[in-house]
Amino acid sequence: MTTTRYVSGNRPVDDLYGDLAAANVQPLWEMNDLLTSEPRPSTMPFRWKAVDLWKLATRSGELVPVEGGGDRRVLAMANPGLSGAPFISTTLWAAMQYLLPGEAAPPHRHTPAALRFILDGDGVSTTVDGDPVGMARGDLILTPSWTFHAHLNSGPSPMMWLDVLDLPLVGTLEAIFFERGQSHDPHVSPLRSSAERLYGQGPGLVPAGRDAPTGGPVHSPLTVYRWADTDSALDALLEVNGSNEATLRYTDPSRGSDVMPTLRCEMTRLLTESSSVATRQAGSRVMAVLNGEGRVDIGDQTFSLDRGDVFVVPSWSTCRLHADTTLDLFTCSDAPVLEALSLFRSEVVKTR
């Protein structure tokens, strides 16, 4: 028997239940909690401390070669609510990737989309479909679905960064394709990638006549967003809004949409000694502390926050931030998926 057999305690019903199970059929009326009035996520609120991640990554660097399985030295944050699966939520994968000086992670591509957010350090370049992109603190780098990507540490120090992928979602859709690329000689990243020179020069300025082939994969042609721009944009937004909290969205400059069809990226600045409004939204969010110290309330739990910490906010869980010093928080969510499917909801939650 391959499916669940239910038991009622009533003999003829149990006979029926046996025959149902034998036929790979299950009775809805015995299932609890299939349809709940609000989401009851398996994903649990959780925070990983930067200090722990760095220690574990450093030990991995000493013990495990980058050439191992998966061609990457990656530590996946495994949500304690997901029965041992290596996912930070039911839709998102989040991990720390660690590369020693001189090491290279060879090119490959896959249908799951990925991004890299740099919480510390520099020296690594990521090559996206042949275009090398230098990575430094505060930068967001995209390696969209089915683009070849490789990493090379040509700097003098180990480097660790945050990877976020839509891998669990694409896995659920049973749509994972993967391909190895051609290895290239290590090469130094130029000061600016071609993507930046084509799409990263100024707001609203795009090359004429470079329309993406219709029907092709849809993602931002700009594969890196530099911290200097983000930092000054956050200051300007705070100034215009006259508030203590500002959130920027990273968008595809050729479409105005989210950077990739499955992942929304945002950066929030919350000024020192202030608290954000409490909100909740359908779908899950991974957040990482680029700068500052404080704490976050998620549902009825509170986690302290230090620079480099990563945490997950489950679906429909109320989230509120408190800054002891000015917090800069990177957020990646699956909101574009829920929006595309008419399933997105969000609201401000009243707090005392």
Q: Are 139 and 236 in contact (CB under 8 A)?
A: no
Which listed range, 114-122, 236-244, 298-306, 321-329, lies at the site for a copy of itself (CB under 8 A)? 236-244
Closest CA to 168 of 80, 73, 89, 263: 89
For residues 270-299, which are near a copy of itself according to CB under 8 A? 282-284
The one among 7, 102, 177, 273 contacting a copy of itself by CB under 8 A: 177
Q: Does 61 bind a copy of itself (CB under 8 A)?
A: no
Retrieve residue 246's tokens. Answer: 């500002």
For 242-247, which contacts have Cβ atoms below 8 Å and span 24 or more sequence positions?
Answer: 244/270, 244/271, 244/274, 245/269, 245/270, 245/271, 245/274, 245/276, 245/277
By CB under 8 A, name the one of 45, 50, 77, 158 that touches a copy of itself.
77
From CA 317, how far away is CA 91, in angstroms rounded?
Answer: 16
Site string for a copy of itself, 251-270 (x = CB under 8 A): xxxxxxx-x-xx---x----
- The region of 24-32, 115-123, 154-162, 294-302 touching a copy of itself under the rule CB under 8 A is 24-32
**Are 265 and 166 in contact, with CB atoms under 8 Å apart?**
no
Check binding of 137 to a copy of itself (CB under 8 A): no
The rounded distance, in Å, linking the Cα atoms of 288 and 161 is: 11
Binding residue for a copy of itself, selected from 154, 244, 247, 275, defined by CB under 8 A: 247
CB of 225 or CB of 292, closer to a copy of itself = 225
CA 16 to chain centre: 46
| Among residues 45, 46, 288, 333, the one that binds a copy of itself under rule CB under 8 A | 46
Size of interface with a copy of itself, in residues (CB under 8 A):
137
Answer yes or no whether residue 182 interacts with a copy of itself by CB under 8 A: no
Residue 98 as a binder of a copy of itself (CB under 8 A): the answer is: no
- Contact call for residue 91 and a copy of itself (CB under 8 A): yes
Rounded CA gap, 188 and 191, in Å?
9
Q: Taking CB under 8 A as the rule, which mask of x and - marks residues 103-122 in contact with a copy of itself?
A: -----x-xxx----------
Backbone angles phi, psi at 291, to 5 degrees: -140, 150
